[in-house]
């Protein structure tokens, strides 16, 4: 089965930040080591959301879009179970191994980006 007929295949494309929607998957680091995150909230001058965000967006919202994203960390090294059954991530070079639960962070973690309304954001479709 090739990518053209595989229903799991996705396409990367770019859209204006002002067109982002909750649930979109964006690459916060295109051209570098990919960092794909889910859009959790989009704030504009029209849809400011939380009172503290709404005040800011009233002032800058015609020029910027504030986007709250998930903060899912990549685990780029191999994982193993130690003698006690704890899942561990191999450390890089001179770094010590780390418990997987420490490496992956909290499921509720998020980050906030401020994009210009004209900025193109890399997203992927087909999910």
| pLDDT grade for 127, boundaries at 50, 70 and 90 | low
Q: Which of 77, 16, 76, 70 is nearest to 44 (CA)?
A: 16
Judge whether 89 and 78 are in contact, CB under 8 Å: yes
Tokens of 23: 């649930």
- Cα(72)–Cα(34) distance, rounded to whole angstroms? 12
Output the pTM of the full model: 0.81
**Which one, of 115, 1, 100, lies nearest residue 67 by Cα?**
115
Which residue matches tokens 């570098």? 32
Which residues have C-beta within 8 Å of that of residue 55, sequence separation ≥ 6? 48
The model's confidence at residue 3, banded by pLDDT at 50, 70 and 90, is low
Tokens 């704030």 belong to residue: 43
The CATH code for residues 11-72+105-119 is 2.30.30.30
Q: Calculate mean pLDDT across residues 95-110.
A: 89
pLDDT for 36 beyond 60: yes
The residues spanned by each domain of the chain are 11-72+105-119
Average pLDDT, the chain: 89
Reading the block at residue 43, the tokens are 């704030």
């Amino acid at each position: 089965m090739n990518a053209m007929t595989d229903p799991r295949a996705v396409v990367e494309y770019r859209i204006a930040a002002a067109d982002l929607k909750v649930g979109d998957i964006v690459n916060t680091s295109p051209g570098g080591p990919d960092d794909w995150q889910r859009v959790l909230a989009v704030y504009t001058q029209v849809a400011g959301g939380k009172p503290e965000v709404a005040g800011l967006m009233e002032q800058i919202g015609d020029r910027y879009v504030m986007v709250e994203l998930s903060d899912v960390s990549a685990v780029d090294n191999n994982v193993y179970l130690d003698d006690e059954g704890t899942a561990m991530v191999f450390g890089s070079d001179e770094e010590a191994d780390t418990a997987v639960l420490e490496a992956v962070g909290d499921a509720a973690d998020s980050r906030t980006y401020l994009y210009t309304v004209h900025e193109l954001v890399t997203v992927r479709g087909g999910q």
